[in-house]
Every structure is written in C-alpha cells, then in structure tokens.
Structure 1
C-alpha cells in the first residue's frame, strides 16, 4: 500500500462564508498518478469514506473528501441549503482548490445525493474533470402524490425546516456492523428541508434533460436492489448520454451503499478496472 504524505483536515470557506470541513489523503508526488474528490450522500459525512480513500490511494490517487454544508463537521443548518445552487458552488471551490496541487484535473466521485450533484457539476462543465464516478446516484427519487403536496406546502410555509429524510439504516447495507455504526454515528443526521429537496429535484430534471451533453468519461456503479433512490433514473440517464461516454454496472443483490456491502469486492474490482486505462494514459505521456 502506498505511503501517505499526510492525512490533512482543514476548512475551506464557501462563497457565502460557510466553512466546509475537508480531509485530504495525499500520496507522495512520485507515487501519485492523479487525484479524486469525493462527494458524500444525504445525511452522512465524508468520514464514512475512509476505506474508499484508502482504496483510491492504492490505485495511485490522492483523495479529497469534504462534508457538504449542513452535514458532518461543516457549518450550516442540518439538511438545508440556501437558495441558488450552493452545492455546486461549494464543489467548484473545493475542486479548483485541490486542482491547484496537480498538473491535471481530478476525477470526481459522488454517492447518492453527492452523485446527483456531481453529475450536474460535470454536465455544467463548471471545472475540468478527468472522469466521473457515480455510486448509486440519486438521478430519480420515489415520491408519492402526497409527498409532492407536502413539499409544496413546506416550500411555502417553512422552506428551511428540517424534517425526517426517510432514509432507513437497514436499507443501506446487508452488513449489520455498517448499519449499527451508521445508527451510532453522531455526525449522521436524518433531516432534509424543502429547499434541499427542491434543489435535488431541480438537479434531477437538469441531469436528465442535459444528459446528451455529457463530455466526461463516466462510470456508473448502481445497486440493483436499491430501496433509497430509484435505479430507473440511472437507466434513463445512461440511455441519453452520448454513445461510449458512460458505462454502467448493476449489482443485483446489493443495497444502496454498494461500497459498504459484505460482497463489495466486485464493485472495487470494477472501479479499479475502469480507472486503470485512464491512469495508464497519463503514464504514457
């Protein structure tokens, strides 16, 4: 396993002054074959991706993980966003700051909600990216007519109020240790505001309608037994992207957190297999 230069935790200020918590897992310059930024999912935090960061280090990538605003150790009301596109603006600041350390753009990895905003970021071409990696991206949500009515009501009466997000720990992984750790994690929260949900729904519409503009090599790793997001969103998106620009792998028996499943080895193998040719191109320059 490569030797880390350092595990560095620090804060970066967002455009509105919100402090975002960042952790960098850096390789020595002679070992690094590239870099990757990780965007986590709803209600969780970047600390849950240490094992993924270690794996990416083994692949030769320096890694940056950060907590979204309103999540983990970052500032902001839990599960809420300000108006506009703060998740994208935050990602731009985080990514461009990390890019200054390297001679080429990073890969961008996003899980669930993070995968949704990572997809929109790539489609909007807000910063150059070497590749896009999506883990169970929230490219569609299952919402009943009643939930849509409640969203309209909450948007009018209390748009910033956090309500239960409906994510069940038992549907994240088949591994009881992962489930227990999630339930006991003090940095995990279970809130979502109408503003954040509307931001997600707007981003879903954008991603689906602009899929044909995808110009970043993309790997989609999706749960075939996902009870948290609707896998049909990933399938629809894949049909709309330019030919050859994206590949998708479905794992029929895995739950939403495919990298936290007891049978996750195939997922890691597929990620490494997709990365290797892209990393080899750089070495041949």
Structure 2
C-alpha cells in the first residue's frame, strides 16, 4: 500500500520479468470501473514473457484500495493518483513506463498523458471511456443526482453479459467480491465530462499512442475513440479497430483476442528502450 496525497491508501501491484527473460522496459496499468488491477494478472504475465515489467494500483474506491466505493472527493482524484503512482514507479525503475489504460483507466491514462506532468514511453488505450452510452433521460437524471446526491451508490446498469464473449470471464467477474458494480453521480460525471474534454484536447497529445477499440462495445460508445483518433496529430496515434469484439478487449475469447495481442506486441516491439 502507498498513500495518495490526501492519505487514501492505494493497493499496489508489481509483476517483475521472470529470471532469464531480457528486460525490455516497463508498463504501468490502469484498470476500469468496478474492477481492480488483479484482474489483469494474465496481461501482466503476457507482458512479462516479452520482457516488460508491469506495475499497477487499484483506483481509490476500487478493489483493495481505500476510499468510498466508486466515489471521488474531487474531479481530478483519479488523475492525480495516477500521476503520483506513475512518477514513483519511474523513480523505482529508472525509466518512464508505457501507460496502458482500459475503459475508465484509459480515460485517466489519456489525461495523465495530456497534462504532461509525467514522462511516458508511450500510451496504450483499450476501449477507453471517451463517450458514454447515455440516453437523454439518463443525462437529465445524472445532472439531478450530481446536484442532490453526488455520492449515493447506484447500480451502474452495465450489461454484464456484454463484457466479453468469454463466459468464464463473466462468471469470474460476477463471483469476485472485489468487483463493486456500483457508481456514484460524481464518478459518472467525471466520466462524462472528462471524456469529451479528452476528445477536445486530442490534438495536444505528445506521446506515441496505440488505440485498441472494440467495435461492438456495448459498455462505452466506440464513436468516442473514433473522434479522439480523428482529432489527434497526424502520425501520433495508431488506431486498431476490432469489429466483433466486446468491451473487455484484452479478456476476449482466443479467436477475438489474438489480433489484439498481435497488434499490441508489434507496437511494443517498436517502442524505444534502453539497452
């Protein structure tokens, strides 16, 4: 555990490269809503086997970290936490990491990159939450709840069966006591506001970026990723689109995940590193 600036304890994870594997670099991972970094142990193992040491933390209000579940104190809590953790990991390893974020973690990772307070070796975004699937009625309700009860826990309506085509992954998600499956209006407001802000600022992106998009995503709207890619500076971002994949693109069935991991491996192989 390490403490955030306000004293909230944040659970930390470290997955070093195994003996005999030549070190290639570092990856720092940011997980999504209603989950925790431990769900990415298989991704860390895949990266470790290719020479990448991996680190992560559970966002405040998630997993083993402290804080009220699925809530925030201020709008930039998650971003500030991530900046602090990534900076500490850079000091630990002696080199900036590739920042890999999924869904909500992808949105947080994008703002860490855009703010420019932390050196990175690159940015990988998996189904980033740039645009939510909200009806007009839901948007109106969100405005009301943000004003009247910003910290009230509500079921977030995530379609559990649409996370991935792999039923074993869904069953494990539903049975896991560390997946909270609730949201607050303050956290939902962060996603809605910061997603559009990221799209508006995409042209300021400094770091080489790989954007992995699930075209059949039923959790976040993939048009947000398309808009972000269109607004990025030419040559800065590589967009990879997977028409049949659902939201958890790194947790898909072997057939659907294979091209995702192949694209990730190819992009990482071109990442500059210290000998």
TM range (shorter): over 0.9
Aligned counterpart in structure 2 of residue 211 of structure 1, from 191, 202, 211: 202
The answer to whether 1:18 aligns with 2:5 is no
TM-score normalized by the length of structure 1: 0.92
Q: Structure 2 CA distance, aligned partners of 1:152 and 1:258?
A: 30
Q: Structure 2 CA distance, aligned partners of 1:274 and 1:225?
A: 23
Q: Structure 2 CA distance, aligned partners of 1:278 and 1:156?
A: 45
How far 1:121 sits from its partner (Å)?
Answer: 1.0
CA RMSD across the alignment:
1.3
Query: What are the residue-to-residue correspondences of 1:1-285 with 2, within 5 Å?
Result: 11-27=1-17, 31-262=22-253, 263=255, 264-279=257-272, 282-283=274-275
**Runs of 4+ residues over 4 Å off in structure 1:** none
Q: Structure 2 CA distance, aligned partners of 1:139 and 1:246?
A: 15
Contact 2:18 2:49 in 1 (8 A): no
Unpaired runs of 5+ in structure 1? 1-10
Give CA deviations for 1:200-250 in whole Å, capped at 9, x if unaligned: 122112211111101100001110110000000000000110101001111
Unpaired runs of 5+ in structure 2? none
**Number of equivalent positions:** 272
How far 1:83 sits from its partner (Å)?
Answer: 1.6
TM-score normalized by the length of structure 2: 0.96
Contact 1:120 1:206 in 2 (8 A): no
How far 1:149 sits from its partner (Å)?
Answer: 1.2
Find the residue that maps to 2:123 and give its secondary structure: strand
Give CA deviations for 1:18-71 in whole Å, capped at 9, x if unaligned: 000011011379832211110000001111000000011112111002110000
Q: Structure 2 CA distance, aligned partners of 1:154 and 1:250?
A: 35
